[in-house]
Amino acid sequence: MAKFPVLDDMSEIATAPDQGAIWCPHVTVASVIADGDRFLMVEEDIHGTLRLNQPAGHLEDHETLAAAACRETLEETGWDVALDHFIGAQQWHSPVHRHHIVRFAFAGHPVRHHPGHALDTGITRALWMTYPEIAAAATRLRSPLVLTTLDDWLAGQRLPLATLRSLLPPLEA
């Protein structure tokens, strides 16, 4: 891979507009973790209502999309997972929160459960559900992205993880 020089003095580059003047969507990740015919799901308390979702959350600064998916899955379910494929990216506008979401969905498999792991705030439990159980709970799903992502995976939509390339510098230890 070609290496490009990085300027030490960035003043030569035209300044970008004030960050507040640029619209930015919420960048999120989600994981479809399958074990036979069951999928790893989370039940979360959203303003007093229990909703179902795949393990999912926001991308953090200096984090790759794949690393975010693994981190969020561990934080919300207590499961270490290995990612196998990139399912795809979806855009959605939440009428409730009025946020524009760009969601990167991954598929993987469970590696190790940490039953004593404290789950993220708002997560009431992690559970394994079949597709018919998830579809039957459609009114409890956090967003239409939950079934859309599962439908894509069940239809065989699996892209290589290398489809997503990170040019972020390695984090210093």
SS3 at position 93: strand
Cβ neighbour number for residue 133 with a 10 Å cutoff: 14
8, part of any domain: no
Cβ neighbour number for residue 93 with a 10 Å cutoff: 10
CA-nearest of 51, 37, 150 to 94 is: 51
Q: How many domains does the chain have?
A: 1
5, part of any domain: no
pTM of the model as a whole: 0.86
Give per-residue pLDDT as tens, 67-104. Answer: 999 999 999 999 999 999 999 999 998 887 788 989 99
Mean pLDDT of 21-25: 84
Amino acid at 26: H
Q: Who contacts 48 (Cβ-Cβ below 8 Å, separation ≥6)?
A: none
Mean pLDDT of 55-64: 95
CA atoms in the 13 A half-sphere facing the CB of 79: 26
Domain that holds residue 129: 24-158
pLDDT given for residue 171 in this prediction: 72
CATH number at residue 136: 3.90.79.10
140, part of any domain: yes
165, part of any domain: no
Confidence band of 17 (pLDDT split at 50, 70, 90): low
16, part of any domain: no
61, part of any domain: yes
124, part of any domain: yes
pLDDT given for residue 22 in this prediction: 82
E strand or H helix that includes residue 151? helix 145-154
